[in-house]
């Protein structure tokens, strides 16, 4: 029985909970995790991969902000691949296939090595007094007192699993759901909604005819997530691809009425970007085939994740449809695909610090904020952890701007936009995308990390070294060069500064600088290359970057115009009805946030602006 | 709270009826006081009532109330139609002011309509121009603009740009294919090119649009006493310029506004250009020269005894030989129009000639024109960013994200015209148009 008072209690031990607990403990706060299953800390409930389009960038941002996701993924990856390599340097997105079991193991080690207390139990209600959190009550009747609480309940709140017409009350397949917390929070005035997500079936490895599949490997020169990863030699185990066919589609169509999404059994709204196979067949009727990836769930795993075949059809229909694909003729499922419905709390109830607007010391992170994805959850957990700790120490909150990071974009989107479906990061959500490159993550966030003391001594030193290496490379490019210096036959009539030559689309920095002749050995080769590439990007994109910077200055002005907490929008003449409703509900913290609320027109903003200046 | 404002909506002076408009929170209360009526006027129901000022009945008028937000300004509005006597309308307005109202600033009704979300910026601008437009043709064009003629065109460009952008965003955010297919690249290029053509056309329409709203400037120039003022007077059929045989009678610019073929025209009668010691005349000549520079068309008048004034490099120039009644034109220049302003001969040919010169402005009435500098600037930079995005296709390697950036900037320029595009709009298109992979 734990009777102590905690500085910070984290409810839930998923990816959000893990980052939240680790960083707050690192920042010196007495921290506890309440979890229904201590063995399931950092469990990857869905796909066996970390990173990917726009998510890879988030993982690296987490790394610079003192989080662990990148480090754990680097240590447990089976293959690494940078996506969008041919489409532009700002959209490069690394992804890793992960050994789920190893990932969980390393993550758990990190918790065990820290002073964090793990409390096995189910938080069923929250205790709030005078708009301030006091603690959580467990199903066992025990009360855990805390000055700050971070709720990261994932899909567990009132979770319902759907497989065809079968319904199972659960938080994940085989794990109990959590009850009571939603009602408890609602009783304090929090708004809630329902969302759904899905996961594909898992097949038995030996039931697949592997010769009828196409192998796909990772990159030969893989790129790790974490800046602190030195020796990097991931195994590069293959994944396999197969294709559905018209027969597959006809079985799915025949069974559509048994899919709870189509029969209307599921009220929650599902993610458009991660459609079920039913959705794909229904919406793109004319497509003869869809691509499916077969991915191992851990090293030499007997369990294969059928990526691209997310479904809530009855199990028999799932098997029948899969068996129409030659390589799956004899497939046996270890677990059917399913859809899950769960409670979420519209995140417009949060401040940019992720603290709730109404209850002091209460923070929300992850899927219960309506997001999807391990990376999105981990990033929110990290921000909650830092801000709960800062609150405890009476320090200002860590708020990331939209121009600093994808995490900043995400949180700003969450608090200013109504989430109608699970929110996933996309690079197109970032209006200053050319600034938010994978390769300049350190530059964007290092100072912020330093200010909030999120880094170990070694990391701090590493980032200092990286920064000075970048400066050194830039300096070298100030010198003038002629034809003889360049590898390719560029036409240079007279000695010209290397920087100018580098602006030409066909010239790369590696044509000019063979290597950085860096004497220090603290920076690994892959990182040195990455930094050189980043210098090149800065130079090649200079004009565009400047355009972004100009816009940002304007936006910053609006962000600095604070809106008083008790503003009465009803009294503002000239605001549209919709604006009054939305602004009263969302209570933006500044004019910038108000501008980004859907349905608020420029006319509304000019009215609001006049009132704020007056 | 905003003041309740009042003003006369019809021109001042005697007329059959005058319309007074009251807008704001107190519009209904004020009307009640004005008419001694116990209850509020009903929405959209014209009501005939007597008005008393200082216990004296001054008129019987019709009140029409428009309840907020179903009114032009989005506020409570009452329109009072009284008889068109300036004394009546003045006392009504003064009564309203004594109740606590205030005289409206120019354009304030439209501004309120805009602030209350009743008009978008483009429509608000058009209203302003409609009130000020100088000919019926221009008014028609503005009406068209109000109905969204330009907005429609621009929206077409926008939907094409959105197609290009969503295709690229699909590549960045969803597709895990290594390359864009050539077919896709060509599709994007084709769409961008059509946007470029369309915006170039709009860009050019400004010259016309501007002329329609601001009017064309035509300066009549020449040496003293070649009959410039007589010619201008005959062209517009009134005696505005004082004419005499004494050279230098017109010492300052005389400006007349008229319409030609439905196009508003400003005719400028200038002082004769010659060497003079007269200070006033000198200043007049200086002004003439300045005006000539700013003109769209010059009518250069000369006679048998006075050569035309040479204005170098000016393209739209009409050479007019005057006083053919004294001595017929014997020169060989075919472009010269020979007239006698005094005897009114050759004037039709001259008018025809002017019409030809301004015929480039004659458009079919279906064409949408951009008319304000703000619109022009937005279209200019829209066009520029589309062109820049196209230029990037020739670079190797192709920086798709830069192309996307340029298209995004272009779309944001359109948003200046028509309203916000959110990333959600873009993503919505991605998810509805493309089969999303994993």
Q: What is the mean pLDDT of residues A584-597?
A: 90
- Of the pLDDT bands very low, low, confident and very high (cuts 50, 70, 90), residue B272 is confident
Helix locations, A346-485, DSSP H: 374-392, 406-416, 441-451, 457-476
Judging contacts by C-beta atoms under 8 Å, the chain B residues touching residue A433 are: 401, 404-405
Contact check, Cβ <8 Å, A54/B173: yes
Cβ-nearest to A606 among B115, B172, B427: B115
Cβ of A573 and B438 within 8 Å?
no
Ranges A512-521, A546-555, A578-587: which has the least confidence? A512-521
Residue B426 is predicted with a pLDDT of 61
Q: Give which of B118, B401, B416 to mutate to test A binding, by max A Cβ within 10 Å.
A: B401
B181 vs A: CB within 8 A? no
Rounded Cα–Cα distance for residues A196 and A420 (Å): 11
Q: What CATH number labels B5-115?
A: 3.30.1360.120
Mean pLDDT of A599-604: 74
Interface confidence, given as ipTM, is: 0.86
* Spatial CA neighbour of B51 closest among B95, B16, B99: B95
Calculate mean pLDDT across residues A200-207: 97
Superfamily for domain range B149-210+371-433 = tRNA modification GTPase MnmE domain 2 (1.20.120.430)
B115 vs A88, A598, A603: nearest CB: A603
Q: Which of B117, B395, B427 sits opposite A603 (nearest CB)?
A: B117
Q: What is the DSSP string of B120-131?
A: -HHHHHHHHHHH
Q: Is the pLDDT of residue A2 over 60?
A: no
Topology at the third CATH level for domain B215-361: Rossmann fold (3.40.50)
Say whether residue B433 is in contact with chain A using an 8 A CB cutoff: no
For residue B203, the distance in angstroms to the closest alpha carbon of chain A comes to 24
How many angstroms separate the CA atoms of B128 and B120, rounded? 13
| Model confidence pLDDT, tens digit, residues B388-436 | 999 999 877 778 999 999 999 999 888 766 655 666 666 666 666 665 5
Interface check B425 vs A, CB under 8 A: no
CATH 3.40.50.300 segments of chain B: 215-361
Residue B239's pLDDT is 46
* B436: DSSP letter: -
A423 pLDDT more than 90 = yes
List the single best residue of A574, A575, A579 to mutate versus B (max B Cβ within 10 A): A574
Mutation for testing the B interface, residue in A49, A54, A88 having most B CBs under 10 Å: A88
Structure tokens, B5: 């404002």
CATH 3.30.1360.120 residue ranges of chain B are 5-115
Residue B90: what pLDDT? 80
The answer to whether B313 contacts chain A (CB < 8 Å) is no
B19 touches chain A (CB under 8 A): no
Q: Of B165, B168, B172, which to mutate for an interface test with A (greatest number of A Cβ within 10 Å)?
A: B172
Mean pLDDT of chain B: 80
Each residue's pLDDT tens digit, A362-374: 999 999 999 999 9
Check whether A161 has a pLDDT greater than 90.
yes
B16-51 tens-digit pLDDT: 888 999 999 999 999 999 998 888 899 999 999 999
Task: Return the minimum-mean-pLDDT range out of A227-231, A387-391, A490-494, B181-185.
Answer: A490-494
Query: At B131, is the pLDDT very low, low, confident or very high (cuts 50, 70, 90)?
Result: low
Nearest-Cα distance to chain A for B406, in Å, is 9
Ranges of CATH 1.20.120.430 domains, chain B: 149-210+371-433
The answer to which of A84-98, A242-256, A349-363, A544-558 has the lowest mean pLDDT is A544-558
pLDDT at A424 over 80: yes
Averaged pLDDT of chain A:
92
More confident: A419 or B270? B270
Q: Which chain B residues have a beta carbon less than 8 Å from that of A434?
A: 401-402, 405
Contact yes or no for B405 and A544 at CB 8 A: yes
Q: Where are the alpha helices (DSSP H) in B266-346?
A: 279-293
C-alpha closest to that of A88 among B224, B289, B403, B78: B403
Contact A603 B116 (CB under 8 A): yes
Residue A453 above 90 pLDDT?
A: yes
Give the chain B residue whose CA is nearest to the CA of A85: B178
DSSP output for B164-222: HHHHHHHHHHT---SS--HHHHHHHHHHHHHHHHHHHHHHHHHHHHHHHHH-EEEEEEE
Q: Does B245 touch chain A (CB under 8 A)?
A: no
pLDDT at site B189: 95
- Identity of the residue in A87, A577, A604 whose CB atom sits nearest the CB atom of B401: A87
| pLDDT tens sequence across A477-519 | 998 887 776 766 667 777 888 899 898 888 889 888 876 555 6
Tokens 């030659």 sit on residue: A326
Q: Which residues of B touch A573 (CB under 8 A)?
A: 1-2
Nearest to B395 among A275, A431, A505 (CB): A505
Please, what are the domains in chain A?
5-198+342-451 (3.50.50.60), 202-339 (2.40.30.260), 457-545 (1.10.10.1800), 561-613 (1.10.150.570)
> Nearest-CA distance from B409 to chain A in Å?
10
What confidence category does residue A162 fall into, taking pLDDT thresholds of 50, 70 and 90?
Answer: very high
Count CA atoms closer than 13 A to B59's CA, side-chain side.
19
């Amino acid at each position: 029985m734990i009777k102590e008072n905690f500085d910070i209690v984290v409810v839930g031990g998923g990816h959000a909970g893990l980052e939240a607990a680790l960083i707050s403990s690192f920042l010196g706060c007495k921290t506890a995790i309440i979890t229904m299953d201590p063995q399931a800390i950092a469990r990857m409930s869905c796909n066996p991969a970390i990173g990917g389009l726009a998510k890879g960038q988030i993982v690296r941002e987490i790394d610079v902000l003192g989080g662990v996701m990148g480090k754990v993924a680097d240590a447990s990856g089976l293959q690494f691949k940078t996506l969008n390599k041919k489409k532009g340097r700002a959209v490069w997105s690394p992804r890793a296939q992960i050994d789920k079991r190893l990932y969980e193991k390393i993550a758990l080690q990190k918790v065990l090595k820290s002073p964090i207390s793990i409390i096995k139990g189910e938080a069923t209600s929250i205790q709030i007094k005078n708009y301030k959190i006091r603690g959580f009550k467990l199903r066992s009747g025990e009360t855990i007192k805390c000055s700050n609480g971070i709720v990261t309940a994932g899909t567990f709140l009132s979770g319902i699993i759907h497989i065809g017409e079968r319904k199972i009350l659960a938080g994940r397949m085989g794990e109990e759901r959590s009850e009571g917390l939603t009602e408890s929070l609602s009783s304090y005035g929090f708004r809630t909604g329902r969302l759904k997500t899905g996961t594909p079936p898992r097949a038995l490895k030996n039931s697949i005819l592997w010769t009828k599949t196409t192998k796909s490997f990772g990159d030969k020169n893989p790129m790790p997530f974490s800046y602190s990863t030195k020796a990097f030699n991931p195994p590069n185990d293959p994944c396999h691809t197969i294709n559905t066919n018209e027969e597959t589609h006809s079985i799915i169509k025949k069974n559509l009425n048994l899919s709870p999404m189509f029969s209307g059994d599921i009220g929650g709204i599902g993610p458009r970007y991660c459609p079920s196979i039913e959705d794909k067949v229904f919406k793109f009727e004319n497509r003869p085939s869809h691509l499916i990836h077969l991915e191992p769930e851990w090293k030499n795993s007997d369990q294969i994740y059928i990526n691209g075949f997310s479904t809530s059809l009855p199990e028999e229909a799932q098997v029948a449809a899969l068996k129409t694909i030659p390589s799956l003729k004899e497939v046996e499922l270890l677990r059917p695909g399913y859809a899950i419905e769960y409670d979420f709390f519209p995140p417009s109830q949060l401040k940019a610090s992720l603290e709730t607007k109404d209850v002091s010391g209460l923070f929300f992170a992850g899927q219960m904020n309506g997001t999807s994805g391990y990376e999105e959850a981990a990033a929110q957990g990290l921000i909650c952890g830092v801000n709960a700790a800062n609150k405890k120490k009476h320090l200002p909150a860590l708020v990331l701007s939209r121009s600093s990071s994808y995490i900043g974009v995400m949180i700003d989107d969450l608090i200013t936009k109504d989430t109608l479906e699970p929110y996933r990061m996309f690079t197109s959500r970032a209006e200053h995308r050319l600034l938010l490159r994978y390769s300049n993550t350190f530059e964007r966030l290092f100072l912020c990390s330093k200010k909030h003391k999120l880094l170990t001594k070694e990391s701090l030193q590493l980032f200092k070294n990286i920064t000075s290496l970048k400066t050194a490379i830039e300096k070298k490019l100030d010198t003038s060069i002629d034809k003889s210096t360049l590898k390719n036959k560029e036409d240079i009539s007279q000695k010209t500064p290397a920087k100018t030559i580098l602006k030409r689309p066909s010239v790369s920095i590696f044509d000019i600088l063979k290597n950085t002749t860096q004497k220090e050995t603290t920076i690994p080769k892959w990182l040195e290359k990455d930094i050189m590439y980043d210098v090149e990007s800065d130079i090649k994109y200079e004009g565009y970057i400047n355009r972004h910077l100009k816009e940002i200055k304007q936006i910053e002005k609006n962000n600095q115009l604070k809106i008083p907490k008790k503003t009465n929008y009803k009294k503002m003449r000239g605001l549209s009805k919709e604006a009054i409703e939305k602004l009263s509900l969302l209570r933006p913290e500044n004019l910038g946030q108000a501008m980004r609320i859907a349905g608020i027109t420029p006319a509304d903003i000019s009215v609001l602006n006049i009132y704020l200046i007056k | 709270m905003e003041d309740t404002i009042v003003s006369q909506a019809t021109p001042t002076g005697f007329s059959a009826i005058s319309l007074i408009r009251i807008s704001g929170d107190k519009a209904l209360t004020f009307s009640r006081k004005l008419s001694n009526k116990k209850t509020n006027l009903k929405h959209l129901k014209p009501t005939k009532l007597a008005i008393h000022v200082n216990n004296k009945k001054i008129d019987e008028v019709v009140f029409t109330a428009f309840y907020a937000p179903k009114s032009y300004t989005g506020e409570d509005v009452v329109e009072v139609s009284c008889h068109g006597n300036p004394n009546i309308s003045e006392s009504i307005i003064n009564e309203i002011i004594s109740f606590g109202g205030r005289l409206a600033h120019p354009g304030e009704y439209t501004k309120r309509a805009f602030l209350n979300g009743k008009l978008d910026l483009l429509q608000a601008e058009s209203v302003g121009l409609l009130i000020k437009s100088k000919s019926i043709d221009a008014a028609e064009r503005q009406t068209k603009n109000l109905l969204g003629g330009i907005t429609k065109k621009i929206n077409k460009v926008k939907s094409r740009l959105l197609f290009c952008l969503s295709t690229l965003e699909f590549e960045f955010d969803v597709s895990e294919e290594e390359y864009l297919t050539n077919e896709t690249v060509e599709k994007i290029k084709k769409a961008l090119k059509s946007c470029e053509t369309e915006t170039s056309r709009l860009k050019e329409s400004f010259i016309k649009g501007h002329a329609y709203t601001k009017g064309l400037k035509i300066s009549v120039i020449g040496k003293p006493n070649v009959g410039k003022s007589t010619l201008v007077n005959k062209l517009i059929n009134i005696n505005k310029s004082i004419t005499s045989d004494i050279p230098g009678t017109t010492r300052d610019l005389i400006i007349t506004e008229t319409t030609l073929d439905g196009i508003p025209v400003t005719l400028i009668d200038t002082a004769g250009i010659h060497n003079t010691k007269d200070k006033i005349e000198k200043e007049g000549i200086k002004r003439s020269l300045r005006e000539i520079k700013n003109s769209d068309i010059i009518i250069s008048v000369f006679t048998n005894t006075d050569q035309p004034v040479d204005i170098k490099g000016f393209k739209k120039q009409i050479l007019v030989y005057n006083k053919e009644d004294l001595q017929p034109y014997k020169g060989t220049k075919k472009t010269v129009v020979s007239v006698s302003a005094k005897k009114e001969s050759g004037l039709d040919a001259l008018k025809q000639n002017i019409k030809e010169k301004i015929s480039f402005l004659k458009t079919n009435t279906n064409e949408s024109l951009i008319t304000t500098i703000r619109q022009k600037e937005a279209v200019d930079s829209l066009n520029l960013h589309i062109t820049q995005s196209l230029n990037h296709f020739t670079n190797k390697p192709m920086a798709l994200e830069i192309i996307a950036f340029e298209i995004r900037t272009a779309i944001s320029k359109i948003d200046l015209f028509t309203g916000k595009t959110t990333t959600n709009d873009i993503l919505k298109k991605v998810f509805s148009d493309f089969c999303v992979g994993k």
